[in-house]
Structure 1
Amino acid sequence: MTSRIAALAIDAVEPRVVAEFWCAVLGWTVVDTASDGITIGPAGGAGLTIDVFAVPERKSVKNRLHLDLRADGGSTVEELRRLLDLGARRVDVGQGSDVSWVVLADPEGNEFCLLSRTVQEVLSSS
């Protein structure tokens, strides 16, 4: 017997803001709203969901687990611009300058990475 991932949980002071950000990033919709949080997922309800839970405290340390994203149907440069326009911000977690990804954070500081084929493509978009 094995387990499967049912959902990814994100803590947020403002769950609505974080849920809306991730819906826009992933092209997902709100699946359920409860008093303690919001569940988002792909249209049609199949697959993994993200539960954004209300917590009283802000994030204070680097995530031990994060999402790695890849541009779907466009260039990494275009996707980086889109993510920044949606409210993501670049963050330095000690990754250095010779990596093939960009570290970003959602509106509450939860880190995630945008993977790229080349770091030059990403850096040229700055």
Structure 2
Amino acid sequence: MTSRFTELAIDCSDPATLARFWCAVLDYEVLEAEDGLVTIGPPVAESPAGPVPPVLTFAPVPEAKTVKNRVHLDVHPTDRDQDEEVRRLLSLGARPADVGQGAGGTGGADGPSWVVLADPEGNEFCVLAGRRP
């Protein structure tokens, strides 16, 4: 028997606000909200018959983020190119982040094929130019 990745827990100062941001990014919905915890995931009516994507649970903590994440999310656009998706995420409240990725963090022959952004609480994530096979 093995384990299956089903949930990612994210410490934050404002679970409801961060959950709304990630719902908009991933087209998720709030599945549960109680005792300060907020869990989001794919809409229940649209859950696939195959492997289920992990849910994200946001938990309040008193301390602020102070260093670069050791684990981060990678997302890739499904219906637009990377530049359009980056603009959409910036309009939702993300901001550019520099984690040493090089010139602007954009793809192409001279740089990586991802753009590093931070969510409203400063958690870094990458927007990929293409999906890994």
Moved over 4 A (4+): none
Structure 2: runs of 5 or more not aligned:
104-110
- Which secondary structure state, in structure 2, belongs to the residue aligned with residue 61 of structure 1? coil
Give the match for residue 24 of structure 2: 24
- Cα distance in 2 for residues equivalent to 1:78 and 1:92: 20
Give the match for residue 65 of structure 1: 71
Indicate yes or no: 2:78 matched with 1:81.
Answer: no
Indicate yes or no: 2:122 matched with 1:116.
Answer: no
Give the match for residue 9 of structure 1: 9
Deviation at 1:36, TM superposition (A): 3.1
Deviation at 1:85, TM superposition (A): 0.1
- Between stretches 39-48 and 74-83, larger displacement belongs to 39-48
* Alpha-carbon displacement from aligned partner over 1:71-106 (angstroms, at most 9, x marks no partner): 111111110100000000001000112111110000
- Which secondary structure state, in structure 2, belongs to the residue aligned with residue 103 of structure 1? strand
- Cα distance in 1 for residues equivalent to 2:39 and 2:114: 28
Residue 114 of structure 1 aligns to which amino acid in structure 2? V
Work out the percentage of aligned pairs sharing the same amino acid: 53
Report the TM-score, using the length of structure 2 for normalisation: 0.84
- Cα distance in 2 for residues equivalent to 1:116 and 1:5: 24
Give the match for residue 120 of structure 1: none
Structure 1: runs of 5 or more not aligned:
118-126
Residue 32 of structure 1 aligns to which amino acid in structure 2? E
Give the match for residue 123 of structure 1: none
Residue 80 of structure 2 aligns to which amino acid in structure 1? G
Indicate yes or no: 2:116 matched with 1:103.
Answer: yes
* Alpha-carbon displacement from aligned partner over 1:26-82 (angstroms, at most 9, x marks no partner): 011000001131000000174210000011111111100111111111111110100
The number of equivalent residue pairs is: 117
Report the TM-score, using the length of structure 1 for normalisation: 0.89
Residue 18 of structure 2 aligns to which amino acid in structure 1? V
RMSD: 1.2
